[in-house]
Amino acid sequence: MMPADEEPLTEAAVQAAGDIWVVFGRLRRKLRALEAAEEPVGRDGDREPSPPQSSVLRRLARNGPASASDLAAAEGVRPQSMAKTVIALEAAGLVLRSPDPDDGRRQLVSLTDRGHERRRGERLARQEWLARALQEHGTEDEVRAVITAMALLDKVAQA
């Protein structure tokens, strides 16, 4: 039931909300697929991280240092599997392990400068793909409309 002081929803608002939900879901899946697509060799000659490794790098970039057991729980994998992932990332110079200052028995996994740079590069590659796709599939006016729509969505998100 709608409170008395609220206006009824317009058809346009309902359609926009549904369209946003569907399109954002598709876009999120597409960007994740681009991220998970494994190139055999990266631009700097190193192997690209596997999808599970990329997921750990993304999580560390977003949430900061974590123990391997916390990472395993968050990623829904066995601790032994996470140990292998962390060892591979450490060997690639993307993460390092250091003693937890609050519990000397635990080690925290964190991104190295190289790990942060790799994450930035992945993000820029996805952003470049999206910019090219917008440019190729839309007119200049349509792209400007997307900018306007994003400003509105940002207001909604911050309300």
Sole residue written with tokens 């996805």: 126
Q: How many CB atoms lie within 10 A of CB 97?
A: 17
pLDDT recorded at residue 71: 96
pLDDT score of 45 more than 50: no
pLDDT tens column, 61-119: 999 999 999 999 999 999 999 999 999 999 999 999 999 998 888 999 999 999 999 98
Over the stretch 127-149, which tens digit does the pLDDT of each residue have?
899 999 999 999 999 999 999 99
CA atoms within 13 A on the CB side of 20: 14
Would you say residue 3 has pLDDT above 90? no
Element (H, E) at 99: strand 95-100
Tokens of 113: 């400068």
Contacts of 87 (CB under 8 A, 6+ apart): none
Structure confidence at residue 46 (pLDDT)? 60
